[in-house]
Structure 1
Amino acid sequence: MNMNSEIMYLFDNGQLLQAYKHFGAHIVKDKNQKILGVEFTVYAPNARIASIVGDFNSWDSRTHIMNKIDDAGVFSLYIEGLSEWEKYKYCFVTYQNETIFKSDPYAFFSDFRPETSSKVYDIEGYTWNDSKYMKNRKKRNSFKEPMVIYEMHLGSWMRKPDFTFNKYNDLVDLLIPYLLDHGFTHVEMMPLAEHPLDESWGYQATGYYSATSRFGVPKDLFYLIDRLHQAGIGVILDWVPSHISKDAHGLYKFDGSYLYEYSDDSIRENEVWGTINLDLGKGTTRSFLLSNARFWMDYFHIDGFRIDAVSNILHYLGDPSRGTNMGALDFLKTLSNTVKAYDSSVLLFAEDSSTFPKLTAPVHDGGVGFDYKWNMGWMNDTLKYFEKDPIYRKYHHHYINFAMVYHHSERFVLALSHDEVVHGKHSLVEKMPGDYWQKFANYRLLVGLQVTHPGKKLMFMGEEFGHMHEWRDTSQLDWHLFQYPMHQKANLFFKDMVKVYHENPCFYELDYQSNGFKWVDSNNAEQSIFSFLRYDSKGDFCLVVLNMTPMVYHDYRIGIPKKGVYQEIINSDLDKYEGSNTYNGLDPVSQDFAHHGFEQSIQIVIAPLAIQVFKLRK
């Protein structure tokens, strides 16, 4: 194995960016590509003896003793005659005379759970067909382009008739047409790193370099991403660099010491999550994680990383009173610099509930270097508002308009994620007050607000057709709901609303510029009506009106910036969406009647519990 003092220096100092080329199990071939054997290399400084065990030696730790090739604690062994798919683990005898068995931190594949062995896998040799997509990716991922993200859990989106998992390959012809039909630009996959427990949803990993075997082999995932790219759909990976599983075969106490995690008992464990915090200030941990990000970019052509639990990274145990974790903060900046230096088109998303400043500012401008931050404030305020009976909404008007007070402090994604539809929080529809009709009217109103409000969009699977139950990771979505008209029409509205978004650059082009948004009236709390303008770079605009109550208003006057005839381009109360069909039969014509600070105004019919969007006719 190619290992020398320079490589170990980089590894120890957190600067080795392709550690997977040096550690792990690597197949050795002759010039005709015939497999000759496998070379294993592992870093375990607290191991006195290291060996390789597997089916090939009846799991006897005395058979294949590894050679210590570096005083820092690197062990290596070439085993002739081994081939792909061999199961293996490392066995360590520590300096404390403890014997432990571990899966390979750099394994490219793992045995199907509940088995915990690593598997020899040939990661090389896939021929990609997404060159056109990759060439144009930087433009596609520009802040000025539309972004509608579909967050999904591969194990519970759709299952086979016998309720077993669909494989990566199975999903190609099911998922891609569905995403295209709904106007999604990106799919965000919840963690795909190998993990022992289904119920962890992937957030407690044991194999960072091993795409989970639940859904097939890594090259099958290559193929799924390849096909998604060919269809013009980006792939964001939910990535968890902050904490790991405590399972005995994983990274935790890998060589009997706290090799990758904190040695300090007071900050090592997240008791609520049952996980162990990685020490992001350690060079070895940084090399492991930075190389892992590079690995997913290199081999899987990942378009972006959604970084989980950023507040837990920025502050010890997520507690601001403990102060900023400077080592972890520096890691995040280094991660941004490393990713952007390798491929500036790859995006970084922060799932962060803190108020840490300049999260999405570039590192060279004193920021942390993320491209986007989930707007947890908008999510919390908006859902609190919608859960209230409309009669009380006038007392909580600020829940809706407050987001624009701080909107330009970061580049935000408006996320209605899996976390909002589990653990007794109810689905989006079930959160809503009122009877069956009112619940869906409120649901359409929420979708309309999210799509027209400044910021990129993320919806969790099932929300696009009004899923009734909370998300259940043990079964597929309730696809049978499509046989019911209310769900069919809720889904139709979602698709039409996203279509309006795509067709009108005013809803995305200037998301993060002050000239892209202007309130018409943000203060009509008594009637719970909001109205605002969205502009594009050419000065064209759309007028958005939201009525948060079941009241109908005729001849409602709204100020507008230009004279002309206005067309109602979408109305969530139309009967095709199962609304009451209150709409503007004739296109409103501007009048020289000053209102809302504008010299002209229009009079419109305001539909109940509805969003209405108007556009000036050319």
Structure 2
Amino acid sequence: MVNGKTELTDEKLADFHNGHMMDAYLYFGSHADRDETVFTVWVPDVKRVSVLCSIVAGETDGRYPMEPHPRDASIWQVRINRRMADAVYVYEIETLQGEILTKSDPFARAGEVRPANRSVVAGSSKHEWSKSALNYKAIQSKGHFEKPMAIYELHIGTWKKAKDGKFLTYRELAGELIPYIKRQGFTHIEILPITEHPLDESWGYQTTGYFAPTSRYGSADDLKFFVSKCAENGVGLFLDWVPGHFCQDIHGLALFNGTVLYEDSREERRFNPEWGTLNFDVRRGEVVSFLLSSAHYWLEEFKFDGFRMDALMKLLYVPNDESRVPNEEGASFLKRLTTRLRERHPAALLIAEDAWHYPKVTGEVEDGGIGFHYKWNFGWMHDTLGYMQTPPAERGDIHHMLSFALTYYYEERYISIFSHDQVVDGQKSLLHKFPGNLEEKFQQLRLLLGFWAVHPGKKLLFMGQEFGHGEEWAFQPELDWYLFDYKAHRQIALFTKELLVFYRTEKAMHELDDDRDGFLWLDPHNHEQSVLAFIRRGRNPEDECIIVCNFSDRSYSKFEVGVPVDSPYEQVFTTNDSAYGGQEPRLGTVHNTREKPWDGQDYSIAIDLPAYTMSVWKTKKDGSG
């Protein structure tokens, strides 16, 4: 019924029903072009469908009966002979049982500001992508396995508010956020879901609009402006996207035709009691086309640099089955998703949330893997935080928790995370997880972030933790920016900034992240003193770093550390720097090696190792003592 590029031909209809369509948003939803507007919706097994429209500028509301597609009775369409951009609308559906439903459009590309929930006819985009932004998008991920990646995770609505107390718009966010994260040393931003959602407190994870950027922060063109500015400033941008489950609010996808349609038809797999959401039926071709098209839409139209995909546990394992039975249907869907996205968007990076012990999540699909580039390292995060929250006197008993991640690390490609999930719901901020007085908490926060930076894996940190946020994250107006009035918080912000500079500039911290040759234990077993020592390597021998972490509340004088080279070693980074609130002067400490084998190396140095300190040592460049 739609002429030209968006005509639903027999071939396109087959693709849609078979789960092969990636651009369904071009054929479904509302499209205003020149002097007409076309509405198209998939609603099988109903008596009738109408569009209820309210035209902007006070025109009379209208009801427009829809007709079944001439080649497919499950698809309903209507053509209205006027351009209705910015009109608000819903679908009125009469079920086979005579029930009248009012639904927002699954393929709407805009929606009303909550609490209103009608769809909006999107007009034509006026945004023009700059050449520099497009060039950056084309090359930003080249060689990413060997490049530094420090991701700043944030929720737009609670990062910072405008002066009038309202949400920052996408355009205002560009002016505030991009300079900030560049100063702090982050390379990428990851934003919690901005797909349209009715409830602020869901953080965006209970989506109703899979093609609509939330109107809380502005229009689609406003979002494109923000994406462009990130690219023009050399900042990567990931979108948190939710392929596994959706919001059960009745105006959305739930029971769309009066029966289960988008949600799983099996009752035992349908509902997520912990989140109050519904799981998609990824056995159904139309649902697969819907999700493939949503993913493609955000990369094609908004040019995000990739996704972090949420709640993959609901796809890789059978939902609501505590025995963790692998879900072949969900795995098959994810393989199709990653394969198609990597074909169409080879520069985009695909990041998986936790997938428990599911094998080869970052393996290639042709080798039996799921096809992601990276996955979050929940195991390392849980072990590290569990250890750090333990009183120092008891840490020796669980020392293995610090080294265990290296027994499995090279099976996947990981991102080391301290995400929003670790600082909500009574878990406290990172700063207040640690035992001891406030000074000791700051010492341990520096140690934790130092260990995070030097451990193999890309990096992700949730907003506010970079300056020692005092409270756990909640739906307060904004982060506690007033903390910058206090010296200790300014010092931890400086520490994080310089730590990330160190991470980005030292090739040993990232160049061989994915290679076993990039890491060597010196001493992983020193539980008596709660000390870890290891080597990080780059491709060139001169990039090698010796790392020593003291997790105890005791300082050690003349601590022996094995080194591989007979050369003076200088301290190139320490979390105990006085500029960060520590006790040591700004670097410059040099130690000569001794011909005393230690830690499996031919030589050693004896260093002073303060309590709660991570220090990094390299051979002195000029070779002098």
TM normalised by structure 1 equals 0.97
The alpha-carbon deviation at position 494 of structure 1 amounts to 0.7
Q: Which amino acid aligns with 2:43?
A: A
Structure 2 distance, partners of 1:444, 1:473, is 26
SS at match of 2:408: helix
**Contact persistence 1:552–1:606 (CA under 8 A):** yes
CA gap 1:577/1:12 in 2 versus in 1, 3 angstroms: same
Listed as ranges, the gaps of 5+ residues in structure 1 are 30-35
Q: 1:605 aligns with which of 602, 608, 622?
A: 608
Aligned to 1:524: 526
Structure 2 distance, partners of 1:408, 1:239, is 26
Q: 2:200 aligns with which of 198, 201, 217?
A: 198
Q: Which runs of 4+ in 1 moved over 3 A?
A: 56-60, 582-586
Give 1:258-407 correspondences, 5 Å limit. 258-317=260-319, 319=321, 321=323, 323-407=325-409
SS at match of 1:41: strand
Q: 1:578 aligns with which of 578, 581, 589?
A: 581
Q: 2:16 aligns with which of 11, 19, 24?
A: 11
Aligned to 1:218: 220
Give 1:500-519 correspondences, 5 Å limit. 500-519=502-521
Structure 1 distance, partners of 2:193, 2:124, is 19
CA gap 1:174/1:353 in 2 versus in 1, 3 angstroms: same
In the alignment, structure 1 residue 464 sits paired with structure 2 residue 469: no
Structure 2 distance, partners of 1:401, 1:253, is 48
Aligned to 1:66: 66
1:575-609 deviation digits (Å, cap 9, x = unpaired): 21111337876401111111111111111111111
Aligned to 1:33: none
Structure 2 distance, partners of 1:282, 1:560, is 59
The alpha-carbon deviation at position 568 of structure 1 amounts to 0.7
**Contact persistence 2:37–2:79 (CA under 8 A):** yes
The alpha-carbon deviation at position 464 of structure 1 amounts to 0.4
The alpha-carbon deviation at position 244 of structure 1 amounts to 0.7
Q: Which amino acid aligns with 2:557?
A: H
**Contact persistence 1:27–1:122 (CA under 8 A):** yes
The alpha-carbon deviation at position 93 of structure 1 amounts to 0.9
Q: Which amino acid aligns with 1:43?
A: W
The alpha-carbon deviation at position 318 of structure 1 amounts to 5.4
1:238-260 deviation digits (Å, cap 9, x = unpaired): 01011111111101111212111
Structure 1 distance, partners of 2:454, 2:332, is 35
Structure 2 distance, partners of 1:482, 1:508, is 30
SS at match of 1:559: strand
Structure 1 distance, partners of 2:155, 2:138, is 28
The alpha-carbon deviation at position 558 of structure 1 amounts to 0.7
1:167-213 deviation digits (Å, cap 9, x = unpaired): 00111111111111111111000001000000101111110000000
The alpha-carbon deviation at position 528 of structure 1 amounts to 0.5
**Contact persistence 1:103–1:249 (CA under 8 A):** yes
Q: 1:186 aligns with which of 188, 195, 201?
A: 188
CA gap 1:123/1:346 in 2 versus in 1, 3 angstroms: farther
**Contact persistence 1:567–1:587 (CA under 8 A):** yes
Q: Which amino acid aligns with 1:26?
A: H
The alpha-carbon deviation at position 320 of structure 1 amounts to 5.6
Q: Which amino acid aligns with 1:68?
A: P
Aligned to 1:95: 96
1:328-371 deviation digits (Å, cap 9, x = unpaired): 11010001100110021211111114101111000011101111
The alpha-carbon deviation at position 321 of structure 1 amounts to 2.1
1:14-40 deviation digits (Å, cap 9, x = unpaired): 0011000100111112xxxxxx12111
The alpha-carbon deviation at position 427 of structure 1 amounts to 0.3
The alpha-carbon deviation at position 59 of structure 1 amounts to 5.0
In terms of mean alpha carbon deviation, does 123-132 or 480-489 score higher? 123-132
The alpha-carbon deviation at position 555 of structure 1 amounts to 1.2
**Contact persistence 1:195–1:202 (CA under 8 A):** yes
The alpha-carbon deviation at position 237 of structure 1 amounts to 0.6
SS at match of 2:146: coil
Aligned to 1:78: 79
SS at match of 1:121: coil
**Contact persistence 1:123–1:219 (CA under 8 A):** no
In the alignment, structure 1 residue 230 sits paired with structure 2 residue 232: yes
Q: Which amino acid aligns with 2:398?
A: H
Structure 2 distance, partners of 1:59, 1:552, is 75
In terms of mean alpha carbon deviation, does 376-385 or 248-257 score higher? 248-257
1:457-499 deviation digits (Å, cap 9, x = unpaired): 0000001000010001232000000010100001111111111
Structure 2 distance, partners of 1:28, 1:336, is 33
SS at match of 1:444: helix
Aligned to 2:46: 47
Structure 1 distance, partners of 2:406, 2:285, is 40
Q: Report the count of equivalent residues.
A: 609
SS at match of 1:89: strand
**Contact persistence 1:242–1:278 (CA under 8 A):** yes
Q: 2:176 aligns with which of 158, 174, 177?
A: 174
SS at match of 2:357: coil
The alpha-carbon deviation at position 322 of structure 1 amounts to 5.8
Structure 1 distance, partners of 2:81, 2:288, is 32
In the alignment, structure 1 residue 26 sits paired with structure 2 residue 64: no
**Contact persistence 1:316–1:323 (CA under 8 A):** yes
SS at match of 1:393: helix
CA RMSD between the two structures: 1.4
Listed as ranges, the gaps of 5+ residues in structure 2 are none
Structure 1 distance, partners of 2:46, 2:232, is 47
**Contact persistence 1:46–1:256 (CA under 8 A):** no
TM normalised by structure 2 equals 0.95
SS at match of 2:36: strand
In the alignment, structure 1 residue 589 sits paired with structure 2 residue 592: yes
Q: 1:136 aligns with which of 124, 135, 139?
A: 139
